[in-house]
Amino acid sequence: MFWPDTIRKKLGIQYPVIQAPMFGVSTVQMAAAAAKAGCLGSLALADLSADQCAELVRKMKELTDRPFSANIFTHHIPEVTDGLKEKYIKTKQFIQQLARKNDIEVDLPELETISLKTYHEQVDAIIEENCKILSFTFGNLDVQSIQKLKENGVTLIGTCTSVNEALQLEKSGIDIICVQGIEAGGHRGSFDAEHIPQIGGLSLLSQVYDQVNVPLVYAGGIYHAKTLKAVKDLGAKGFQVGNLLLASQESALQPFEKERLKKVREEEIVLTKSFSGRYARGIKNQFIETVENSEYILPYPYQNKLTNALRKAAKSLQNPEFVGIWVGQSIHRYSELSTEEILKGLIRQCEKYR
């Protein structure tokens, strides 16, 4: 049999293939379609409020009775200091002026109006809604949350981008570790937002496999059967795909974003902090070229909250130069078929290796 049993049985799914949680791109419909294909659908909850999380979990349960994962952010929220307040004002003014120069009318939020919450209320909502699989990124859950979730029978999947992060996750009792290669699109799952490990995914997976005993999922660069088989041979028991589904029928990307995606060239795919304050891999555009390596980048999540209105305004104008189009390094044809069809096609390709 081609598919490893460990994660498949642990999560109650037919195939150990996981639809990546891509906040802003993946949808409830995408997660339900992945579940329909016999894979694990992921509900991207990011840093939404507890009420919003509960609503999306309920909506997911209306669409499928199969297992699915909720995914949240476990980042550290920097303290609001006088220095941060001053930098926020300067960054806001700069981005507002940049938007106006490019005919984008937008009112960016004042620092005082930004609402930030820790993940603890999300954890309570996930338990209350009886969601049995929780994945997370940008750090580790605290001891109390891990204990509470385990007492309620929730399987935990943590994200690592280094061997050290993997060891921390294993030590804290996380059930499954997702090893995220630097090839992956979107945000790096690193614990430290400022210093991301530069190790390539295959090298990282091999080293993590040698040093931890929990089952591993691999994410980063999987876009067909050969790439999936390669990480399977290096010890992965599960396979997370996101880049493959970016242009799918259920993707939240708009047609102009999908068209930009299909024209992307290798040299245009970059790591940037410009939109969110955390490193993410996506398509280079005017905003990234102007802001990256400038003094106008706030720590995450303040930069992310600040630029959110700009991204929405640019999207409404179908202007790809001021939206974050996240994409991994594996360029392919970006199918617009349904998520279910794309994943079933991948599964069929893989099973030819039997």
> What local confidence, expressed as pLDDT, does residue 353 receive?
79
Query: How far apart are the C-alpha atoms of 233 and 119, rounded to whole Å?
Result: 35
> What local confidence, expressed as pLDDT, does residue 284 receive?
98
CA-to-CA separations, 353 to 125, 147, 226, 228, 348, in angstroms, rounded: 42, 40, 9, 11, 9
> What local confidence, expressed as pLDDT, does residue 299 receive?
97
Could you write out the DSSP letters of every residue in 23-40? TTT--HHHHHHHHHTTSB
Residues of the chain with CATH 3.20.20.70: 1-77+117-251+333-354
- Give the torsion sign (CA, 327, 330, 332, 337): negative
> What local confidence, expressed as pLDDT, does residue 96 receive?
96
Could you write out the DSSP letters of every residue in 70-102? EEEE--------HHHHHHHHHHHHHHHHHHHHT
> What local confidence, expressed as pLDDT, does residue 354 receive?
66
β pairing state of 280-283 and 186-187 = antiparallel
Nearest to 201 by CA among 171, 172, 243: 243
The reported pTM is 0.97
Residue 210's φ and ψ, nearest 5 degrees, are: -75, -20
Query: How far apart are the C-alpha atoms of 299 and 308, rounded to whole Å?
Result: 14
Nearest to 119 by CA among 89, 156, 165, 81: 156
Residue 2's φ and ψ, nearest 5 degrees, are: -70, -40
Query: How far apart are the C-alpha atoms of 303 and 277, rounded to whole Å?
Result: 5
For domain 1-77+117-251+333-354, say whether CATH 3.40.50.980 is its number: no
- Terminal CA-CA length for the chain: 6
Question: Which parts of the chain have pLDDT scores under 50?
Answer: none
